[in-house]
Amino acid sequence: MERLLTDAELLEVTAMLVLALPLFFVLQLLVNWTARVAGFHLMPLKGNFVAISTGCAIIVAYSLFLLGERLWMFPAEALSCLAFIVLTLGGFSYTYFATFAISEVSLHMHIMLMLLVNGSLSATAIKEKYNKRYMLEERLDRLVELGQITLDNDGVYHLKGRKFLYGSKIFDVWKLLLGFPTKLEKV
């Protein structure tokens, strides 16, 4: 009986999925390097997203190439195989993005990286870099760069993009299940 994938091809798909995280990392290095050489300022989280999207596209395209005409010979099995690949990539993508995001925005990681780069810093120097005003400005600048908010000439911020806001509804469901409040109060 003919199968969708031979043992060798199954091993190839497994290896490809196992190598997804290193692929994301290499692609992120290439994206950041290309942006730097081109003189283009690329926000780190955007570079991360580009690398993950590109890596997933490469893996899915290679999977389709590997399956080839068997996609039509074994449609149910092929769809199951592709669903498995996409779901696995989704999990790996989330893991890579979350790990990168934590290292990018975590105060602990930033302080350790500052110490690594500078050798040593006084508590005063660290406090100058990480005061409430600086941290708020950084977060607002990041939201402006992501296109989620805008800043008008009067110094007032306005909501612009809603994709992350809609994505946060997942967390509202989670809060509801845990019994936490989901409504924000006006300031």
Q: Which tens digit of pLDDT belongs to each residue from 85-121?
A: 999 999 999 998 888 877 667 777 778 878 888 888 8
Q: What are phi and psi of 172, to 5 degrees?
A: -65, -40
pTM for this prediction: 0.61
Largest CA distance in the chain: 72
Q: Which amino acid is at 130?
A: Y
In the chain, % of residues over pLDDT 70: 90
Helix 44-67, helix 7-18: angle, nearest 10:
180
Domain spans in the chain, listed from the N-terminal domain onward:
7-105
Confidence of residue 174 (pLDDT cuts 50, 70, 90): low
